[in-house]
Structure 1
Amino acid sequence: KGRPRQDGGPLGAQLLGRRLGAPIGTQRVLGGDGDVPILTTKDNIVSQPAKILNFLRKQKYNADYELSARQGADTLAYIALLEEKLLPAVLHTFWVENDNYFTVTKPWFASRIPFPLSLILPGRMSKGALNRILLTRGEPPLYHLREVEAQIYRDAKECLNLLSHRLGTSQFFFGDMPSTLDAYVFGFLAPLYKVRFPKVQLQEHLKQLSNLCRFCDDILNSYFRHSLGDG
């Protein structure tokens, strides 16, 4: 509870749910992460994006059944790359960068959880994000936070470049329908692409990669058109 997401985010789980016709909705969880994806079946209620994706596979809702063994291996490799190279900078952008945190992330998050948790949980999430970044990146020779920040943004931009190169002119990463990799990439990129931040270092780099922006727009228009709003 209170731990920053690290599994592709709720949009990724909702994308696969809509793509496969699985019963995923959103639910406001008191004391939890605010609006999170919830999969409800006759016998189960499953939350958290990664757990939902695993549950869908076990229930034969498999977006990857047409992938080759090589493509399946590539999926795992790119997901690992996202979590190692892109996630730290995304966490920093949302939860550690002061201007973004105090003007965007904290007010949005606090508005979705009840008082007095709204006074406590955003700060806990911010500290958790910083601790995760320092735990994975704050080792020699990167002793200082400023050095860590510079490195994680270099890594993230390199990761975005690799994703852009891999996607090329294709609509999705494999074939003509979203797969698990598309869900993970979309879950990371869509919030970064759409949220209006005061500090936009990583966002600016993403917006220079037109195929990744088109990828996000196509999925939003195809699978989230009726739920797009200002919130």
Structure 2
Amino acid sequence: MATPLLTRAAEINVTPRGDQPIIADYVEIYQQHEDQILLPEEAQCLAVKTFLHMCNINYHKKMRYNAEQMSPSKGLPFIKIGPLIVADFDPIVEHLSSKGVCLTSELSGSQKAELKAYLSLTVNRLHLAELYITWRDKLTVEEITKERYGSSYPWPLNKVLPWFKQREIGRYLQAKGWYEKSIDQVYTEVNLCCKALSHKLGDQYYFFIDRPTELDALVFAHLHALLTTELTSARLADIVKEYENLTRFCDRIHQRYYVEDAGES
């Protein structure tokens, strides 16, 4: 996958509201249209939107059929603040932190190290599983992926571009050691990840202290996407549902940031 990057430095005004900082101006977040978006991008876009909600940052959602081509890293989503463009979850979190918008300032050094480990676990298991299911599982590719990915393009691009994307993802999965996995091995990886996350969460409201961090945003996004995205098999959703504390966690985050606040524009 392409390396995320930043374009054009710009200053962001940060002002306090309540007990958390906010960005003074609206943020624009770019993603594909709903009839085009696939499971991995759905999870990544939801992670960024949830993180912005947790930081009390107002945003406008901009849906573009060519959002992937607009992104400087080809990754989604990307945000635009004035002339600045930042793509992908980690660079967005890092950039906002550099401007004083941080959810982990109260964590100790050991807690921050543990948080990074769980962030890595989530990406290296759930995100890779989503890519595998979307682009490697033959039934999903034929019945869902190719149709949705190519839906906004005329023939023959609607046939050619999914093929190129499948090759690109295949090389990425190969580099990560996931290309030759069986579907049952992928399900096992997801189950092990959920087990570790469930053990860490326990009976807590959030993963760390009494307020959310980027880990809460990322885990919620991936689990919620697995629970709600229509696939050719319900196996991934069933795995998540085996962990009651994780499903309750998803319900709480959804209720707090997408039902009570209804903050999307």
TM bracket (short chain): 0.7 to 0.9
1:65 and 2:73 are equivalent in the alignment:
no
Distance 2:91 2:158 in 1: 26
| Structure with bigger gyration radius | 2
Q: Is the 8 A contact 2:125 2:189 kept in 1?
A: yes
Tell me the secondary structure at the aligned position of residue 170 of structure 1. Answer: coil
Distance 1:120 1:129, change over 3 A: same
Q: Is the 8 A contact 1:24 1:40 kept in 2?
A: no
Q: Cα RMSD (Å) of the superposition?
A: 3.1
Q: Is the 8 A contact 1:22 1:61 kept in 2?
A: no
Give the paired residue count: 220
Partner of 1:191: 225
Distance 2:255 2:213 in 1: 17
1:167 and 2:207 are equivalent in the alignment:
no
Q: CA deviation at 1:159?
A: 1.0
Q: CA deviation at 1:97?
A: 1.9
Give the TM-score normalised by the residue count of structure 1: 0.79
Question: Which residue identity lines up with residue 193 of structure 1 in the other structure?
Answer: L
Q: Is the 8 A contact 1:14 1:37 kept in 2?
A: no
Question: Which residue identity lines up with residue 12 of structure 1 in the other structure?
Answer: A
Tell me the secondary structure at the aligned position of residue 224 of structure 1. Answer: helix
Distance 1:227 1:197 in 2: 28
Tell me the secondary structure at the aligned position of residue 33 of structure 1. Answer: helix
Q: CA deviation at 1:16?
A: 1.2
Tell me the secondary structure at the aligned position of residue 203 of structure 2. Answer: coil
What percent identity do the matched residue pairs reach?
A: 24
1:79 and 2:113 are equivalent in the alignment:
no
Q: Is the 8 A contact 1:39 1:46 kept in 2?
A: yes
Partner of 1:12: 47
Question: Which residue identity lines up with residue 84 of structure 1 in the other structure?
Answer: N
Give the TM-score normalised by the residue count of structure 2: 0.70
Is the helix fraction higher in 1 or 2?
A: 1
For structure 1, the 5+ residue unaligned runs are 139-143
Give matches, 1:17-56, under 5 Å.
17-33=52-68, 36-56=76-96
Distance 1:222 1:109, change over 3 A: farther
Distance 2:69 2:150 in 1: 8
Tell which deviates more after alignment, 214-223 or 121-130: 121-130
